[in-house]
Amino acid sequence: MKNLMRILSYVRKYSAFALLNVFFNALTILFSLFSLVMLIPFLQVLFKESDPVYIKPVFAFTAEYFLDTLKYYITLSMTTYGDTKTLAIICVAVAVIFMLKNLFRYLALYVLSPVRSGAVRDMRNELYRKILSLPLSYYSKEKKGDLISRMTEDVKEVEVSIMSFLEISVREPLTIIVFLTWMLMLSPSLTGFVFLMLLVTVLIIGRVGKRLKRDSGESQTLAGELFSQLEETISGLRIIHAFSAEKYQEDKFAKLNDRHFDKSRSIVTRKELSSPLTEFLAICVVCAVLWYGGNLVLSNQGFKAPTFIHFMALFSQLIAPAKNFSNAYYNIRKGLASAVRIFEVLDAEVVISDRQNAKEIKGFEHSIEYKNVGFVYNNYDNKQILKNVNLQITKGKMVALVGQSGAGKTTMVDLLPRFYDVTEGSIMIDGVDVRDYQLREMRQLFGMVSQESILFNDTIFNNIAFGNPNATRDSVMEAARIANAHDFISKLPNGYDTIIGDRGGKLSGGERQRLTIARAVLKDPPILILDEATSSLDSNSERLVQDALTKLMKGRTTIVIAHRLSTIQFADEIIVMQNGQIAERGNHIGLTAKNGIYKKLVDLQAF
């Protein structure tokens, strides 16, 4: 119930439309009731099954008063205009009533549309905002495909299941209440019997649908795993083909798909059981009411045959709402399972956020300092990545981080813009802990060029201007020239308006890297982070990229992670990392003369 109320909270801002929906549904139900109430007395008077009423009844809130009033006006019409003309008037009145009933039915659905679609849109927007705000550590534990599944399949399930319940939860209960009220006025005892039968029906349906929520949750989890494997397959297709692993991947996917099929079949079987089960139970209730009401008529207990027929006509109008309500119950059990998966993401803790009264930072003045920094990834082994790291980087200097894989180099630079937070010690910019700054403003100080060129399936212009909505075409072109990218961009069919494909797949590695450098140039950050920016390039591409990087680094504070040590010989300071600690530090000449770890790394590369 808590999750259902939370889902329905998204409807609050559309309450005006929701109230209109209730109003139009109420009118629909009243006209539906009136169409039956006015027709039966007319037929009774017309076919002499009931005595005409010549005196207008005195008001009383009873069924007899309303029925006798209708009979009075029908009798008056028949006396004035005759039976044939009265029949025509009644037929026209019935047609008008049904027209109004369906008009208000349409209006009820019309005003509900923005409620349903708007609430789902707001939920999807909130999910996307949450995905953007979650730290990188969250995504190291979760599968991307499963997150995509929650954003698409689970939100769609909520829309189909729970948001559809919005209409039914208003219209069907109103229908049942209005018709039961009228039936109660006709015969309290028979109505009480009907209500008891309906209650038993609801309890039976509830027991059948008890497992549906659990099965639906498992099915959505398996759907997420299918998305994950599909995403991994597309990303790793080159390796799959290279290792002739198509059959292995196909079998792996088929097994997972079979598990999803079995669970989905179970869900469909239970859900589809609702319709025949409800119909069978409804017939049982009808038979029970016919038996009970028939006995009242036959035993002359003040319940006449015409009234009983009238009662059964009204009761027949309750079967469809009861059936719809039972179907909605099954759907909502499925929807709640998806809601749980959505709220797991929305409720995930955002561990990287602004502290209370966080400070503004407008620029970088003098230094960056790592002070007794330690860090542990919160993963399966809790291995300590950094231990007691102390380092000061003065503004305008170039500092290089070198060492074997796993030494902690990338972790050190990831801690600086707070992709993660330190677990020990502190990192300070201009003497203030980075955790005390406003996160968004603090990250504006950094530009990053990584080993993997992160580009988007968009135009070259938009990729260079990424995150900078005020960028002009001239500024983008100037950034591209500095990054040695303008020449190859100009040769493309659509120039800066060329779509570069998923992850920039239409470009070469060197071209992609130069675009990321152009992006950093346009941002014009005071602090630059280069994470093995040339390690995966051929010699010619490396030369072009290295030249672009040299232009980019000019006048900036630069932290470079490098495997190719030839690129950092002129660094102001080289930090040699080993087992999460600083093992050596100095410039290229001094470290080479020490004949230590750095010298061994240099000898291995033999440059």
Lowest mean pLDDT among 16-30, 166-180, 299-313: 299-313
Q: What is the CATH number of the domain that holds 342?
A: 1.20.1560.10
Residues 373 and 333 in one domain: no
According to the model, what pLDDT value does residue 607 have? 46
Dump pLDDT digits (tens) for 91-111. Answer: 788 888 888 988 998 898 888
Lowest mean pLDDT among 237-241, 514-518, 551-555, 590-594: 237-241
One-letter identity of residue 566: S
Residues 414 and 341 in one domain: no
Residues 166 and 243 in one domain: yes
Q: Do the domain assignments include residue 358?
A: no
Stretch 249-253: mean pLDDT: 80
Q: Residue 53 — pLDDT band, cuts 50, 70, 90?
A: confident
Residues 296 and 382 in one domain: no
Domain boundary among 313, 346, 379: 346
Residue 426 has pLDDT above 70, yes or no: yes
Q: Do the domain assignments include residue 377?
A: yes
pLDDT greater at residue 283 or residue 435 = 435
Q: What is the CATH number of the domain that holds 486?
A: 3.40.50.300
Can you tell me the distance from the alpha carbon of 433 to that of 369, in angstroms, rounded to the nearest whole number? 9
Q: Do the domain assignments include residue 516?
A: yes
Residues 321 and 415 in one domain: no
Range of the domain at 35: 2-346
DSSP calls for 39-87:
HHHHHHHHTTSS----SPPPP-SSHHHHHHHHHHHHHHHHHHH-HHHHH
According to the model, what pLDDT value does residue 429 have? 93
Residues 21 and 60 in one domain: yes
Stretch 266-287: mean pLDDT: 69
According to the model, what pLDDT value does residue 79 have? 79
Q: Do the domain assignments include residue 361?
A: no
Average pLDDT, rounded, for the chain: 80
Residues 518 and 383 in one domain: yes
Dump pLDDT digits (tens) for 385-400. Answer: 899 999 999 998 989 8
Q: Do the domain assignments include residue 353?
A: no
According to the model, what pLDDT value does residue 275 have? 63
Residues 427 and 342 in one domain: no
> Which parts of 211-304 fold into alpha helices (H)?
212-235, 237-242, 246-298
Residues 318 and 448 in one domain: no
Which H, E and C letters describe 559-575, residue by residue? EEECCCHHHHCCCCEEE
Can you tell me the distance from the alpha carbon of 358 to that of 347, in angstroms, rounded to the nearest whole number? 23
Q: How many domains does the chain have?
A: 2
Q: Do the domain assignments include residue 197?
A: yes
Residues 117 and 255 in one domain: yes
Q: Do the domain assignments include residue 470?
A: yes
Residues 387 and 251 in one domain: no
Q: Do the domain assignments include residue 158?
A: yes
Domain boundary among 346, 375, 390: 346
Residue 212 has pLDDT above 70, yes or no: no
Beta carbons within 10 angstroms of residue 184's beta carbon: 16
Is the backbone of residue 566 left (phi > 0), alpha (psi -120 to 50) or beta? alpha
pLDDT greater at residue 227 or residue 207 = 227
According to the model, what pLDDT value does residue 371 have? 94
Residues 331 and 407 in one domain: no
Dump pLDDT digits (tens) for 311-321. Answer: 777 777 777 77
Stretch 125-139: mean pLDDT: 84
